[in-house]
């Protein structure tokens, strides 16, 4: 039986050190920026990063991470992606936007992550296939300006921006819950007799995006009917997927789905009230 990987090891230390640095940026923003603005923009930026990660990592395997924290390789690579797309890049982007940093800061930050990527390649804790570090440099610069433009739209309470922010916040929670559920072996997607984790991580983001869409619509409505409609509609989706052999759950479907769907009913409604509150 393999021993459980230690959290602190030669592979994980660079990932964790970067995480500490970025959490320090969070503390700076908490002291100097209105918390509502920070959290809404940060969750939106994480959501944008997750959507970008879906085709580049999950579908077409442009790169893989090796933080050596999780024992199973698929979980370990996804955890590395979570560090990158839910901690490093979104926090930096939110920081640059909220402190109104100019193009010099954006180029310097893009160059910093380019150098980090090259360093991770040399340390053999990150591997690229068709992806190239120069793509990171260019696309990060674009991403920073998207963050700026999106924040301006949120600040002026553009309806489309508020809807997207609401959706992205829900998506981030769903994706996180799905990762934890997979690690705990509560849920697994695939097809055929053997459900591989590669298949799972191709399907589960799309599943989360669809459920987030349902939650966004239902949580924007005030009546009790829509609070009930959310868990019921999600339960129907899961039962359908189980029946056609795409989804497996570890425990009885109703007990499993009802607990997380009821949780998301309150969380999605909380996001709606927070984002749309004047």
Least confident window among 78-82, 88-92, 167-171, 225-229: 225-229
Tokens of 267: 């969380």
Mean pLDDT score, 15-25: 96
Q: What pLDDT was estimated at residue 152?
A: 97
- Tens-place pLDDT, residues 29-56: 999 888 899 999 999 999 999 999 999 9
Report the run of H or E that residue 136 belongs to, with start and end: helix 133-155
Report the run of H or E that residue 248 belongs to, with start and end: strand 247-249
Q: Would you call 2 helix, strand, or coil by DSSP?
A: coil
Residue 254 has pLDDT above 70, yes or no: no
Residues 6 or more apart whose CB falls under 8 angstroms from that of 149 comprise none
Q: Is the dihedral of CA 76, 78, 81, 83 positive or negative?
A: negative
Tokens of 99: 């402190």
DSSP 8-state class, residue 251: S
Question: What is the residue-averaged pLDDT of the chain?
Answer: 91
Q: What is the value of pTM for the model shown?
A: 0.93
Looking at the DSSP bridge assignments, the partners of residue 248 are 188
Q: What pLDDT was estimated at residue 7?
A: 84
Among the listed residues 198, 4, 18, the one whose alpha carbon sits nearest the alpha carbon of residue 120: 18
Instruction: Map out the domains of the chain as residue ranges.
Output: 12-156, 160-276
Q: Would you call 277 helix, strand, or coil by DSSP?
A: coil
Q: How many Å apart are CA 186 and CA 119, to the nearest integer?
A: 36
- Tens-place pLDDT, residues 98-120: 999 999 999 999 999 999 999 99
């Amino acid at each position: 039986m393999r021993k459980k990987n230690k959290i602190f090891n030669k592979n994980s230390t660079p990932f964790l050190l970067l995480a500490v640095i970025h959490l320090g940026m969070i503390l700076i923003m908490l002291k100097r920026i209105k918390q509502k603005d920070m959290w809404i923009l940060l969750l939106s930026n994480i959501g944008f990063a997750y959507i970008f990660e879906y085709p580049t990592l999950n579908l077409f395997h442009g790169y893989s991470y090796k933080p050596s924290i999780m024992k199973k390789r698929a979980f370990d690579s996804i955890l590395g992606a979570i560090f990158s797309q839910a901690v490093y890049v979104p926090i930096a982007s939110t920081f640059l936007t909220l402190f109104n940093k100019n193009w010099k800061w954006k180029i310097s930050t893009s160059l910093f992550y380019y150098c980090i990527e090259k360093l991770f390649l040399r340390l053999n804790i990150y591997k690229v296939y068709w992806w190239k570090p120069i793509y990171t440099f260019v696309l990060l610069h674009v991403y920073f300006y998207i963050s700026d433009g999106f924040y301006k739209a949120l600040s002026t309470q553009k309806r489309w921006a508020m809807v997207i922010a609401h959706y992205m916040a829900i998506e981030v929670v769903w994706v996180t819950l799905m990762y934890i559920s997979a690690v705990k072996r509560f849920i697994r997607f695939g097809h055929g007799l053997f459900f591989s984790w590669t298949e799972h991580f191709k399907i589960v983001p799309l599943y989360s995006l669809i459920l987030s869409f349902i939650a966004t619509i239902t949580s924007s409505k005030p009546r009790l009917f829509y609070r009930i409609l959310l868990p019921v509609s999600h339960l129907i989706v899961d039962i359908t997927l189980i029946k056609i052999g795409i989804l497996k759950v570890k425990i009885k479907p109703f007990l499993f789905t009802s607990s997380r769907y009821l949780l998301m009913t309150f969380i999605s409604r909380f996001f709606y009230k927070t984002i749309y509150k004047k």
